[in-house]
A and B are shown apart, each in its own frame.
Chain A
């Protein structure tokens, strides 16, 4: 049973436009959410996070929105740049059997076209 779902395997946008990546979760115990970015042949790198006590967190061109009632979060990239082309993983953290572990979604491959 997938606890963190990224239902769009891929997304293609034009340079300068907004990219919106979506993520849904099922476990109401999750209380911290993160986005990771992964380029080919590299490990995932942390991008942005949000605590469940907030509904928005912004860092430059990246904004994450959290809707707890809908168990949904989204990552907005504005404006999108070709260098943003990567796989984006949504991850959630919360009490799991006495230890904190991240649960990852399957990822969304973003392609930003020049």
Chain B
């Protein structure tokens, strides 16, 4: 099934631990994005990648890092998790034609 796969679906993480959220797409989209969704704050861009090998910072990049070794995968890493990173994280991608994004189903992360 064409689309975006995110893993894990949910996770409870101890503060200070390292965590990588996985995102894989099979649509050969060049652009990929990581957003976090928080109540009352909507969707905020963390990091993005316009094409494999390049990444950029979004609106709220602090505490997060990304890599884009190939077209399909765009992992998001929390080096040392803090409770304020408790959120729902969405990965998205965009093809070269059109402006719309395809979103994954999200990862619900709770940092305690």
Binding site for B on A (CB under 8 A): 6, 9, 32, 34, 36, 41-46, 49, 89, 93, 99-107
Establish whether residues A101 and B45, one from each chain, have CB atoms under 8 Å apart when the complex forms: yes
- Residue in chain A with minimal CB distance to B98: A49
B81-93 CB contact bits vs A (8 Å, 1 = yes)?
0000000001010
Q: Which A residue sits closest to B54, measured CB to CB?
A: A99
B90 contact from A34, A44, A105, Cβ within 8 A? A44
Q: State the total of A-B contacts with C-beta under 8 angstroms.
A: 54
Please give, as numbers and ranges, the residues of chain B lying within 8 Å of A45 by CB-CB distance.
103
B43 touches A93 (CB 8 A): no
Closest B residue to A93 by beta carbon equals: B99
Size bin of chain B's contact surface: 20 to 34
With both chains docked as a complex, state the minimum distance between the C-beta of A86 and any C-beta of chain B, in angstroms.
13
Contact A43 B106 (CB under 8 A): yes
Among residues of A, the one whose C-beta sits closest to the C-beta of B102 is: A46
Complex-state Cα separation, A113 to B41, whole angstroms: 25
Contact check, A46 vs B101: say whether CB atoms are below 8 A apart.
yes
A44 to B103, CA, bound (A): 6
B105 interface residue, CB < 8 Å from A?
A: yes
Least CB distance, B61 to chain A, in whole angstroms: 13
CB of A43 within 8 A of CB of B48, answer no
Please tell me if B100 contacts chain A, counting CB pairs below 8 Å. yes
Q: In the bound complex, do residue B99 and residue A107 qualify as a contact, i.e. CB atoms below 8 Å apart?
A: no
Bound form: Cα–Cα A46–B98 in Å: 12
CB nearest to A45 among chain B residues: B103
- Chain A contacts for B42, CB-based, 8 A: 6, 89, 104-107
